[in-house]
Amino acid sequence: MEKAKISAIQLFALMFLFEMGTAVIISYGIDAKKDSWLAIMLGMCVGIILFFIYYFLFRQYPNLPLTGYTRKIFGKYLGWIIGLLYIIFFLYITVHNIRSFGELLLSSTMPKTPLLALIILMLLAICYVLYLGIEVLGRTAEVFIVILILLGLTGNLFIFFSGNVDLHNLQPFLENGWKPILKTAFLETSSFPFGQMVVFTMLLPYLNRPESMKKVWLFALILSGLVLCWTASLNIAVLGTENVERSTFPLLSTIGKVDLFEFIQRLDVIVVFTLLITVFFKASIFFYCALIGIVDLFKLKNHQQIILPIGCILIFWSMSLASNFSEHIGESRYVDSYITVYFHIIIPLLMLVVTLIRNRFKKNDSSESNLT
């Protein structure tokens, strides 16, 4: 692994920007209708439970990335295969985020620009930062989280002063009962983006103060959950449930309704900059973790030698991922509902169980040796 260290503040900035990702822009949790905010909160609670699984595994193997302790837990060969599956999964999520970013720019501000050009420019920027290393990415996140907060506060103020917020759009509470809320929480919001934080198990060995990890992770997870909950509620309050369901990027439509003094208009740039920042960091984190996983599994000297070759593969993969944006969204929904559960929940749970059983046997063996 790279000889580098990141601070607790940098880890928090990376986690918060990661959690925003595309979730802050799309119609997140809208399958629960007006109660999407509650589905997001429940998904966040599931994410907190998953964190304690990841935290336990980190405490057992504090100096190893995820691909390292899969081999410690499952054995050399099975653990290697599971590590490789995680790498492929991380690369897929990287491709998915880059494609979503390109589609938003095409639909909002650059309709005549080739999608391939947007994807190449994004990946070149990501490759350059990752070539410089995780410390540079962490310091960059410290700067851009401040910019993101300022953009968010500015956008919210303009939306409220525009007079488009109607709290009646959020009523009545539990209009369709608990079933759609629980279904959305456990099949969608818990996995995306909260379960995706499993990727940070690859970065934790870089933390210069490992004892601060617990507070940083929980604070970033809860704060991002509250922001996503607020954003989903704001979209519904301004647009109404039906319009949010029909809209590809509801936050873009929400801020597009701002019209103050017939002068402050066309604030779409705030949403575009928000997505540019959050997707850049989310894709960078997934890509970097895939790279150091490859270095770990294949015993390479460093990650720099494989950045460009893997980046070229990601360009072609993102273009062939789907023929249009609707197909892209449908595929990602399927993956989020049926595939990611193995990487976020089932495999970490199996690692937890195997580790507990091994620890139990070690204690029994040590107690027996002491008696003899």
Q: Is the CA virtual torsion 108, 285, 148, 131 positive or negative?
A: negative
Tokens representing 59 are 């405490």
Paired with 260 in beta bridges are: 264
Point out which residues pair with 207 in neighbouring strands: 6
Measured distance CA(27)–CA(287) in Å, rounded: 25
Tokens of 174: 């539990």
Topology of domain 8-358 in CATH is: Amino acid/polyamine transporter I (1.20.1740)
150: β partners: none
Give the confidence band of 367 by pLDDT, cuts at 50, 70, 90: low
Q: How confident is the model at residue 233 (pLDDT cuts 50, 70, 90)?
A: very high
What is the predicted pLDDT for the residue at 27? Answer: 82
Q: How confident is the model over 150-204, as pLDDT tens digits?
A: 999 998 998 888 888 888 888 888 888 889 999 888 888 888 889 999 999 999 9
Where in the chain are the domains? 8-358
71: CB partners within 8 A, 6+ apart: 79, 80, 83
* pLDDT reading at 133 higher than 80: yes
% the chain with pLDDT above 70: 97
